[in-house]
Amino acid sequence: MEKYSSLISCKDEKGLIHRITKIFSDEGVNITENLEFVDHSSATFFMRTEFTGLIDQQRALSLLQAALPGGAEIEIRKQASKRIVIYVSDEPHCLGDLLLRHSFGQLNAEIGAVLSQHGNCQRLCERFEIPFFHVPVNKLSRESHEAEMLRMTSQFSPDYLVLARYMRILSGDFVARFPNRIINIHHSFLPAFVGKNPYEQAFDRGVKVMGATAHFVNHILDDGPIITQAVVPTDHSQSPLQMAKIGQDVERLVLAQALELVFEDRVIVHGRRTIILQ
C-alpha cells in the first residue's frame, strides 16, 4: 500500500486538527502517525501526518487549502527514497559512514555520485560501487570550480546535496539553487567556532565539551537552520588533533541522524529554525 506524509504549516487558530483530520477521514485513508506543534512565538501551527491508502492528491490539497487559513503551506509527499549527491574534501569518515549505511539499506537515499576536489576518496567509493568524480581545483577560479561542480551535480537531479566534510564555501548563487536542500556537517556545536579549524578554536578557548552540527546551508557561512547537534566531553588533555579524531565519531553520527530526519520528511524550516516532527 502507498505511504504518504503530509506537511502543513499555517497561522494558528482554533479547530485546525479537527478540520484536517476530517478531510483525511473523509478521504478514507488510514492515519498511522500524527504530530502537531504550535510555535507560540510566531503563532504558527505545524502538522505532519503519515497515512496509508489511495488518495487523490490534487483533491486533498484543494480541500485542505479551502479548510485552512490563507497562506497555509501544504505538501503531500509519497514516501520514497531520496536522490542525493555527496560533496567531500579529503577526510573520508563521514562519507565512509554514509556509504556503509547505504550498503546496509539504511540510508533511505540513492547516492547519485560523490564529487570531490581531492582524489583520495575514490578508492573508498569504488569499494561500495558508487560513482566518484574528481573535480580538481588546479588553476580554476573559485567561480569556475563551483560551476563545474554544479554542472556535474545537475546531471543527477538530486533532491539533496550532502556536504560530508566539504571544506569549500559555496557561493550565494549556488546555494540559492538548492533552498533548504543542502545539508552540511560542521565540526563544532554552532554557533561556537564558525569557520575554519573549529577544533583548534575549541582547544584555544579551553572548552570542556565539543560537538558537531548538521544544518541546512544558507547564504551566510555556518549560519543555516540547525537540524541536529551532539556534543562529547573534552578536557585539557586532548590536543586539537585528538579532539578532531574523537570528533569524527560525533560528526558522522550527527550527520546520519540529520539525514534520516530530512529523508523521512520530518524537518520543516521555519525562518532560521527547524521544526522537527518525530
**Catalytic residue set:** 222
Question: Which DSSP state fits 170?
Answer: P
- Coil vs helix vs strand at 41: coil
Least CB distance to a copy of itself at residue 138 (A): 27
3-class DSSP assignment, residue 231: strand
Residue 220 contacts a copy of itself per CB under 8 A? no
Q: How far is the CB of 28 from a copy of itself (least distance, A)?
A: 9
Nearest approach in angstroms of CB 69 to a copy of itself is: 16
Cα(5)–Cα(2) distance, integer angstroms: 10
Query: For strand 82-88 and strand 109-116, is the pairing parallel, antiparallel, or unpaired?
Result: parallel
- Confirm or reject binding of residue 256 to a copy of itself (CB under 8 A): yes
Distance CA 64, CA 26 (A): 12
Told to check if 226 binds a copy of itself by CB under 8 A, we report yes
What single-letter DSSP state applies at residue 226? E
How many Å apart are CA 39 and CA 277, to the nearest integer? 12
**Applying CB under 8 A, does 146 fall inside the site for a copy of itself?**
no
Query: What are the counts of helices (DSSP H) followed by strands (DSSP E) for the chain?
Result: 8, 13
Residue 57 backbone dihedrals phi, psi, to 5 degrees = -60, -40
The residue among 61 and 253 lying less far from a copy of itself, judged by its C-beta, is 253
Nearer to a copy of itself, 59 or 123 (CB): 123
Site pattern 71..110 for a copy of itself (x: CB under 8 A): ---------------------xx--xx--x--xx-x----
Task: Name the segment binding a copy of itself (CB under 8 A); options: 62-70, 72-80, 107-115, 219-227.
Answer: 219-227
Backbone Cα Rg of the chain: 21
Compute how many residues bind a copy of itself; rule: CB under 8 A: 64
Residue 126, class by beta-carbon neighbours within 10 Å (0-12 exposed, 13-18 middle, 19+ buried)?
exposed
C-alpha to C-alpha distance for 11 and 44, rounded to whole angstroms:
5
- Write each residue from 182 to 201 as x if it is in contact with a copy of itself (CB under 8 A), else as -, in one continuous string: -------xxxxx--------
Binding segment toward a copy of itself, per CB under 8 A, in 37-45, 73-81, 109-117, 172-180: 37-45
- Measured CA to CA, the distance from residue 45 to residue 13 in angstroms comes to 8
Report CA-CA distances (Å) from 276 to 7, 36, 79, 148, 262: 11, 10, 17, 34, 9
Nearer to a copy of itself, 90 or 173 (CB): 90
Q: How far is the CB of 55 from a copy of itself (least distance, A)?
A: 14
Instruction: Compute the least distance from the CB of residue 141 to a copy of itself, in Å.
Output: 32
Task: Give me the residues that bind a copy of itself (CB under 8 A), please.
Answer: 14-15, 17-18, 21-22, 24-25, 30-34, 36-41, 92-93, 96-97, 100, 103-104, 106, 124, 127-128, 189-193, 203-209, 211, 225-231, 235-237, 239, 245, 249, 253, 256, 270, 272-276
